[in-house]
Amino acid sequence: MADIVIVAYRPKPGCEAALAELVADHVPLLRRLGLATDRPASIMRAADGTIVELFEWRAGAVQTAHALPEIQQLWARYEQVCTYVPLRDLPEAAMLFATFQPI
């Protein structure tokens, strides 16, 4: 069974553009490697600049991803430009209808 994931990336100072580029390439790379489904992904921005991404992993793909050098390199690039934050840390998460700006 596939898993839909929502993840929040808070850019490190001065890394906003690099993070936006990385996120734009993220799901296409996962799809090329057979890890993400064709379900449309959504990329959006919170009021504080945090980028929120929603996408769908293929069944079992998360475990497979941990063994792939391309994914390890991708995750290392994310660590350079952002901090992962729980959704609950975004003020929008406290709203009944969480609203973000589309990217």
Q: Does residue 81 carry a pLDDT above 90?
A: yes
User: Tell me, what DSSP letter sits at residue 33?
Assistant: T
* Mean pLDDT for the chain overall: 96
Instruction: Specify if 27 maps to a domain.
Output: yes
The CATH number of the domain holding residue 61 is 3.30.70.100
pTM: predicted TM-score of the whole model, two decimal places: 0.93
Residue 45 lies in a domain: yes
Distance, in Å, from the CA atom of 68 to the CA atom of 35, rounded to the nearest integer, reads 11
Task: Tell me which residue range forms the domain holding 47.
Answer: 3-89
Collapse the DSSP code of 75 into the 3-class scheme (helix H, G, I; strand E, B; otherwise coil) and give the result.
helix
Phi, psi of 45 (to 5 degrees): -120, 135
The predicted pLDDT at position 44 comes to 98
pLDDT in tens, 31-40: 999 999 999 9
Q: Give the per-residue pLDDT at 1.
A: 85
Dihedrals phi, psi of 94, to nearest 5 degrees:
-85, -10
CA–chain centroid gap for 103, Å, is 12
